[in-house]
Amino acid sequence: MSASNAGSFERAGQPEARPRAAEVAAAPVPTTRFAPSPTGELHLGNARTALFNVLLARHLNGRFVLRIEDTDAERSQEAHVAQQMADLRWLGIEWDAGPDREDERGPYRQSQRTSVYERYFDELARQGLTYPCFCTPVELEVSRRTQLASGKPPRYAGTCRDLTPEQQARKRAAGITPTTRFRVPSGRRIEFEDFVHGAQHFQSDDIGDFVIRRADGSAAFFFSNAVDDASMGVTHVLRGEDHLTNTPRQLMILEALGLPAPRYGHVSLLVGPDGAPLSKRHGDPSLRYYRERGYAAEALANHLFRLGHSTPEHGFLSMEEMARAFNPAHLGRAPARFEEQQLNVWQKEWVNRISLDAACAWLAPAIPPGVEEQAARAFVEAVRPNVLLPEDASAWAQIVFGDLPPLAEQDEQVVRSAGPGYFSAAASAAAANGNDLQAIVGAVRAATGKTGAALYKPLRLALTGRPHGPELAPLLKAMPPGKARERLARFAA
């Protein structure tokens, strides 16, 4: 069998051939989906998959749907559903249909689709393509190990494939509740064109009969995922590479049910700095982790957009621009590495781009209560070039509005060696002119004849406690009145 999915996308900028009228009438609306299982938090790999799917849908002027894959009742949690939806929306991802935006193709939670699955289970049973399997997990494990030990790839041995109705009845009478397996046809070649990995082919004889219904009656992944893609009108499945070998199973189910197969593309895995895949199970930073640290969604999206997807667009892009520029033909096959440093480059770009009002709103939590609006704005303006995250602004807020910790020893020496004359000139200028750097510098230069670093460094240390930081003049302007004089006077005696 071969899925009827052509594997090419238009290259960016090239017009697509105009379809004929009959094709227009028949062509389904391009539809992509993101289908998380609510068993944990979304990690960056999930977020990238969701982003690519929404961009592909927008690029094709199609629909993007969100489907919650919660048939595994034991591992799914309602709290994760809410968290995942909030995280996606935070990232700027909105769906045309989903659990909170139902339409005629829903419901969009698998736990509410039992009647849909039952219909298709019955259809497969009617065709004699399924059978009950009474093997226990222990028996399956023993069989798996035996096959491995004899150098064979493990697959279901077919133990229950040909049980007679009497044998089945005896098993049931013994209290064993069976799973349901799909009878994989023998001697078939399954082909499809993956729009990331190119032509794929599998032999059905390498695939054991697989479970499509668990013992508790719930639909298993291969089945519900494939059936839902078809019944929700999904035309393009863009998902993690770990699902590539599941695709032939899903194509067999769709074929047996006479349902349309989507086109599949399997994106390379996202790996961390150590080369290990980012996975929600291994405690890797989640989307929420970055959100809570104060990273901007736009910065994260710009970074994810370029992970495993090459683009000639170098600048910071909006969601709309990303959708225009997204090109599935440019999805890479090699694992993509997530680097926080690269994310920081986009974050910095974002910090520099936003309006002062937006920066003030973003950094408001870093500013101590009671600071007047004007001083807060002056502060944000002064520190913005030195801020990547709100925590950086908090450190500067403490310096500007709070008390300074004692100087580090080598800094104390720099300050002391400038001499009391230096600081009494500086303190008097501050007393006369307020937090005015120019006046202070002018007075110190006149009193000491110092220039360059010898002139500026002790001032910076005495005023901020740090050898480096934002430009000093605007920082002083944000300080409460009298503060510069007070800090300079400490070293005047």
Q: Under the rule (CB under 6 A), what is the footprint of ligand GLU?
A: 35-37, 69, 225, 239, 243
Shortest Cβ distance from residue 154 to ligand GLU (Å)? 21
Shortest Cβ distance from residue 242 to ligand GLU (Å)? 7
Shortest Cβ distance from residue 214 to ligand GLU (Å)? 15
Closer to ligand GLU at the Cβ: 309 or 384?
309
Shortest Cβ distance from residue 51 to ligand GLU (Å)? 14
Closer to ligand GLU at the Cβ: 225 or 268?
225
Which residue reads 């064109």 in tokens? 193
What single string gives the DSSP state of each residue in 251-276?
A: HHHHHHHTPPPPEEEEEPPEE-TTSP
For residues 297 and 291, give the distance between their C-alpha atoms in angstroms, rounded to a whole number. Answer: 7
Shortest Cβ distance from residue 110 to ligand GLU (Å)? 9
Question: What are 70's two structure tokens?
Answer: 């919660």
Closer to ligand GLU at the Cβ: 39 or 398?
39
Closer to ligand GLU at the Cβ: 35 or 359?
35
Closer to ligand GLU at the Cβ: 5 or 225?
225
Closer to ligand GLU at the Cβ: 68 or 427?
68
Question: What are 264's two structure tokens?
Answer: 């599949």
Shortest Cβ distance from residue 206 to ligand GLU (Å)? 21
For residues 427 and 439, give the distance between their C-alpha atoms in angstroms, rounded to a whole number. Answer: 10
Shortest Cβ distance from residue 37 to ligand GLU (Å)? 4
For residues 120 and 171, give the distance between their C-alpha atoms in angstroms, rounded to a whole number. Answer: 25
Question: What are 343's two structure tokens?
Answer: 């994310």
For residues 14 and 329, give the distance between their C-alpha atoms in angstroms, rounded to a whole number. Answer: 13
Residues 6+ apart with CB under 8 A from 259: 226, 227, 230, 231
Closest CA to 112 of 224, 192, 7: 224
Closest CA to 219 of 251, 250, 193, 245: 250
Closer to ligand GLU at the Cβ: 148 or 276?
276
Helix ranges (DSSP H) in 262-318: 287-292, 297-305
